[in-house]
Structure formats: C-alpha cells, structure tokens
Amino acid sequence: MQKINWGIIGCGNVTELKSGPAFNKVEHSRLVAVMRRNAALAEDYAKRHQVPRFYTDADELIHDPEVNAVYVATPPDTHAMYAIKAMRAGKPVYVEKPMARTYAECQEMIRVSEETGMPLYVAYYRRTLPAFLKVKELLEEGAIGKLLTVNIRLHKAFGAKDQYPEQQSWHVKPEIAGAGHFYDLASHQLDYLDYALGPITEVKGIAINRAGFYQAEDTVSAAFTFSSGVMGTGSWCFVVDKNNEEDKIEITGTQGKITLPCFDKGDVLLITRQDKKTYSFQNHENISFYLVEQVVGALRGKNDCVSTMYTAARTNNVMEKIVKEYYIK
C-alpha cells in the first residue's frame, strides 16, 4: 500500500483532537471518509475536518472502494464486530482501546486477522510518547539498577453524571465497556508496563463497588508479576474526593526509582543515590500522531508497530483476570 486512505467508524470525541487530525498529518496518509449513525453529526465532523465523504452506515464505509484502511473508534461493544467486518472486506484495521470487551472477543479478532492476512493494530499510543519512551530507555540502561517493583495508583473523583443512571456514560456500563472506568483507564497503564517490563505472567485482583452509583466496579486492587521478574501492585478508585486524586506509576530498582503520571501533565522524575533528575516533555497536539505514523509505516512495509493485536489482547486478558470474580457473582 503506497497511500493509506482511512475511513473512521465512530467519529466521536476521541477522534476530534486525539486521533482524527493525525490521519491527515502523517505522510502517505489521508482521511477520506467518516461514519456516525447521526447524519447531522457525521456531516458536521466531515465539514470541520475537511473529510470528503460521510456515512451513517458502517458497512457502506467499509465497502467504500477508496477506503483501504479502517479506524474503529466506537465504544468497545462493537470493536470486534466492525474490525472483523473490515478485515473480511480486505481492509487493515486500527482499533481503539481496550481492544474489545472480553479476551474471547480479542482472540476472535486475532483469528480473523490471521485467517484473512489483514493487519490489526490497537490505539495504545503511550508506547510512542516521549516521556514513556524515556522511562523505558532509563530502565534498559540500568539507571535505577536491577528492577524490583512497580506500583500504580490511579484515584479519581466521581463525575457528576455518575450519580444519575439516565446520564451515565457507556464507560460504566459493562455490557458496552466490558467493565467500568478500570477498563478504559487502567488499560493504558497495564499496556505500557507490558511494553516496558515484559508481559504479565501472573495476576490476582479484587474488584468491588463502594459508592453504589452504577453496577460496574469502582474500586480495584491487584498484584502481578512480569516475565522480567518485576513484581507489581495497583490501586484504582474512581469515587474519591476531588482533593484526593492521584495519578502515579512508580518503578523501584536497587539503585533508585522512577515516577511518572500516566494521564495528568507532569514530569518524569529519576531519583538515585547520587542525584535527582527531572525530564520534561511536550506531546504532539494530536496525541495519537506517533502511533498513527507507525501504523501507516507498517502498512506500507516500512517499519514495525509497537502496539499489535497480540500485545493489546494480553492487556485485556490481565484486566479480565483482575475483575472476573466481581462479575461472576
């Protein structure tokens, strides 16, 4: 493929700035069609982003002869369906994270990709961001010695809409999201650590609902071990007071530690016996740009992509193991 002509299924908020514009900014790539069930919103998006065509039917976009690659940016309950349809139509796919609602859906997507020969990539763009790449570099060069532990803490205040069933977003509806906010946010953290420390080989978790705003879990704790031997723990809570919010990944070694936020703007902090260093970075205005660039290069046979269906499916598997007891009840 010399020119990647993208079609987006589900041109909602995530595509406005984070990803959508990147498809026209990456060399050898352009956005030629978008789809949204609401015709007025689809047309509005197409006009504002200078996209030639819009659709209200995903099948029409998938079978548009000019579209030769599809970006699925819908909620997770339709990731597998649309990705499989596109791959069966001979179109490579880039899908939003988490890869799907369940590990079983991920496995089916992988099976169809292997069967059709159509590549499938997943939007875990932190694998390409400067701060996260710097941390990986520091770990690999032994800046904090032999790696020992990693700890994740993500505590966020509940949203005003979380309290009212009629206003709740799909992020807290397990039938759509797969679980609660944990799947949407922890997936980024766990996927990045898979990249930096190796796949998680053992995991145990507890998930509960403390506030009672919705059916999904709102508080999660987990312990896990990576293939590299590093041991990890995580604490996620989505109903704390605003003043008690926290966003930190802390990696400890025999000679120091590294801390960085995953979602908040902040610096990478390296603390060793001899020194304390701060590294500051500026992301691209379209935060998915670097990963989209990799995907385009991979589709053109120029490079590999760091976020594949195999790595993303591992993250789904880990999250599912952490919360599964909550959903067995």
Q: Quick check: is 37 in a domain?
A: yes
This prediction's pTM: 0.97
- Which residue in this structure is represented by tokens 């145990």? 204
The number of domains in the chain is 2
Q: Is residue 239 located within the same domain as residue 297? A: no
Is 201 contained in some domain? yes
Statement to judge: residues 152 and 277 lie in one domain: yes
Residues 155 and 24 both lie in one domain: no
**Do the strands 256-260 and 246-253 form a parallel or antiparallel pair, or are they unpaired?**
antiparallel
**pLDDT above 70: residue 325:** yes
- Work out the number of other CB atoms within 10 angstroms of the CB of residue 76: 26
Query: Which among 178, 177, 175, 181 is positioned nearest to 158, based on CA atoms?
Result: 181
pLDDT at 1: 77
What is the rounded CA–CA span in Å between residue 219 and residue 137? 32
Residue from 252, 241, 115, 133 nearest 192 by CA: 133
Residues 61 and 200 grouped into a single domain: no
Alpha carbons 145 and 219: distance in angstroms, whole number: 33
Which residues span the domain enclosing 159?
130-281
DSSP string, 197-226: H--EEEEEEEEE-SS-SSSS--EEEEEEEE
* Mean pLDDT value of segment 188-192: 98
Q: Distance between CA atoms of 123 and 188, rounded to whole angstroms?
A: 9
What CATH number is attached to the domain comprising 71? 3.40.50.720
Residues 243 and 297 in one domain: no
- Domain presence at residue 294: yes
Half-sphere exposure at residue 136, Cβ-oriented, CA atoms within 13 angstroms: 15
Q: What are phi and psi of 54, to 5 degrees?
A: -135, 155
> Is residue 257 domain-resident?
yes
Note the pLDDT tens digit of each residue in 240-274. Answer: 999 999 999 999 999 999 999 999 999 999 999 98
